[in-house]
Structure 1
Amino acid sequence: MGWIAWLALGFAAYLGLGFLFTWVAWRNPRVPPRKNPGELGLNFQEVWFATVGGKRLHGWLTFPPGDQSGRSPVILVHGWGRNAERMLPYIRVLSQAGFPTLAFDARHHGLSDRDGFASMKKFAEDIRAAADFLESRGEKPPFAVLGLSIGGSAAIYAASRDSRLQPVVTVGAFAHPRDAMIALGFGRFIFAPIAPILFRFIEWRVGARLDQLAPEKNIAKVPAVLLVHGANDTVVPPSHAQRLLAGANGRAQLWMVPQRGHSDVHLEPEFFPKVLAFLSQKAAAAS
């Protein structure tokens, strides 16, 4: 076999290894919730509702005791590889402040249905399905959305296409899915030469161009966004928050939290007071 054939064979093997790496790296852990709002002393309902493709989502609908506020539930969205349990600290504080909540497991996470793979696009579809579910129960939009990491990025994208979803609060959201993956090491090092091919493979599998999904290209369509980001975030670099703010055309505000990373921002003493003030202000403006 000539050297050209050997070169072609080697490149084919290298490309195949890149696709295999992409397939494996894409897999997210599916861990069921171990705790629920009842363990916080809260009154809640376990709910199931439909999403795209005939799949079902598992969630918790929690109302504050004796709630007479007439507030619509806040939709809470976890991050990659997590589940609704991740939102329990948020459920507790929001409930104490009189906000009903709907937290759910995104597709291919927690107890919700499998669906081949997870993606930001599917997270966004599930957020819109949550709004559909709340409306089916007689709840009145708009519904505020609070999302973590990919859940926050998906909330921006979903809200840019659905006026029922506002305002939006994000924690550690990324500006562009491609750049978020690169920051985590995907498409770098050994696979850098074929990164464009691998990203096109991802787009084919997701069913949308990453540029079209990018929150920084859609955030200006969302009326009000509070961007919260840890200044020491090593998962989603703080530059993503600055890019989102720049793309919002004045419709977003940014709180960069010193000495905090990707998953501990909610431990900052000022975190929940700022979030509650933002939600209350926007709810009052909408009424």
Structure 2
Amino acid sequence: MDLGLALAGFWGARAAAHALILKGLRAPRVAALVSPESLGLAAQPVDIPGPNGKKLFAWFMPVPGTTPTPTPTPAILVMHGWGANASMMLPSVAPLLDAGFAVLLLDARCHGASGDEPFTSLPRFAQDIEAGLDWLAVQSRVDASRLALIGHSVGAGAALLSATRRDDIRAVVSISAFAHPYEVMRRLLAQHHIPYFGVGWYVLRHVQRVIGARFDDIAPIHSMTRVRCPVLLVHGEDDDMVPFDDAKRLLAVGQPGRVQLLAVAGRHDPTEALQTEPSQMLAFLKGQLGSCQSACNSGQIQPVGDGSHSHGEMKSAPA
């Protein structure tokens, strides 16, 4: 075979492989499944300026005001997981509003009604979260000193990453977060019967090059050692996508007194985790964002329940 043809074939195959990898970094875009109105929620659709000049679609739900000039309230930004969108997190909103929290449900780039990109990634989810926080902070009905994050799966990993580099995040509720993206990718390769040595190794190396970040630098298990606020880890005991053991590992490396694990009955679905036992999540958020400034400013996690599990595992009631 002519050397030129051989090289052309090699580089052609390499380019095709890179194109397939890039395609894999774009989740299928899913339309909104439900609307706020269908659930009896009053929401304002908003377009938020995002990274790279892209718009981020969101639903903003301020706490219903009873006076002409309502007092600014704490606010929670909610970020969905990979291949999902803001509508899938809507069932969790009513208890948050009832508890006195404004809510921003955000679509990440390449998801829902937000702008498109050649690819997305955990770091890009984090960038989108931070654009949403910047928008929330200037809303007249929001107390910018009391902001929190709720994230699911990749959205949870992104929330933890954002909390390592911002001081305006008072609390994070991490739902079904994985410990390390390298392990997630290894499981994905195995599911598709792609051998790690040779092909798989190259795929993982190229993914890191494309997203512009080393897996070690963005891994939730490393973010947990650097987060600047209290964290509540929520994880389904029967999660068949991210093993429950990942949550235990995240707990083990967390800062003592600033992280808890809430084990819930259910799998990977965020609505299962949020609706099984919302009172414990709400107690955590109220402890960090409530009106008692001394409690909020203490820097220590406010215990859920009797406080006996501030760095341990607590069990929620079965559904």
Q: TM-score when scaled to structure 1?
A: 0.88
What pairs with 1:61-80 in structure 2 (closer than 5 Å)? 61-66=60-65, 70-80=72-82
* 2:136 alignment counterpart: 134
The secondary structure found in structure 2 opposite 1:220 is coil
Cα distance change, pair 123–39 in 1 and its aligned pair in 2 (3 A): same
- Higher mean alpha-carbon deviation, 12-21 vs 53-62, is at 12-21
How far the C-alpha of 1:151 sits from its partner, in A, is 0.5
What pairs with 1:103-122 in structure 2 (closer than 5 Å)? 103-122=105-124
How far the C-alpha of 1:198 sits from its partner, in A, is 1.3
How far the C-alpha of 1:242 sits from its partner, in A, is 1.5
What pairs with 1:59-208 in structure 2 (closer than 5 Å)? 59-66=58-65, 70-138=72-140, 139=142, 140-185=144-189, 189-193=193-197, 194-208=199-213
- Higher mean alpha-carbon deviation, 239-248 vs 9-18, is at 9-18
Distance 1:163 1:155 in 2: 13
**Quick check: 1:42–1:64 contact (8 Å CA) kept in 2?**
no
**Quick check: 1:18–1:191 contact (8 Å CA) kept in 2?**
no
The secondary structure found in structure 2 opposite 1:282 is helix
Cα distance change, pair 225–14 in 1 and its aligned pair in 2 (3 A): same
* 1:257 alignment counterpart: 264
Aligned length: 285
Distance 1:220 1:207 in 2: 22
**Quick check: 2:26–2:118 contact (8 Å CA) kept in 1?**
no
Distance 2:151 2:274 in 1: 17
Distance 1:236 1:40 in 2: 29
Cα-to-partner distance string for 1:167-221 (whole Å, 9 max, x where unaligned): 0001101111111222333697333113222112111110111110111111122
Alignment match of 1:212 (pick from 210, 217, 226): 217
Cα-to-partner distance string for 1:143-174 (whole Å, 9 max, x where unaligned): 11001111011000011111112200011011
Distance 1:213 1:72 in 2: 28
Cα distance change, pair 136–225 in 1 and its aligned pair in 2 (3 A): same
Task: Look up the equivalent residue of 1:253 and give its one-letter code.
Answer: Q
Cα distance change, pair 269–24 in 1 and its aligned pair in 2 (3 A): closer
* 1:237 alignment counterpart: 243
Task: Look up the equivalent residue of 1:48 and give its one-letter code.
Answer: D
Cα-to-partner distance string for 1:28-86 (whole Å, 9 max, x where unaligned): 11123243222222222111111111111000110232365642211000111111101
Distance 1:221 1:154 in 2: 13
The secondary structure found in structure 1 opposite 2:73 is coil
Unaligned runs of 5+ in 2: 298-319
State the identity as a percent.
Answer: 35
Distance 1:124 1:42 in 2: 26
Task: Look up the equivalent residue of 2:272 and give its one-letter code.
Answer: H
**Quick check: 2:175–2:273 contact (8 Å CA) kept in 1?**
no
Between structures 1 and 2, the one with greater helix share: 1
* 2:21 alignment counterpart: 22
Distance 2:230 2:91 in 1: 23
- Higher mean alpha-carbon deviation, 66-75 vs 98-107, is at 66-75
The secondary structure found in structure 1 opposite 2:189 is coil
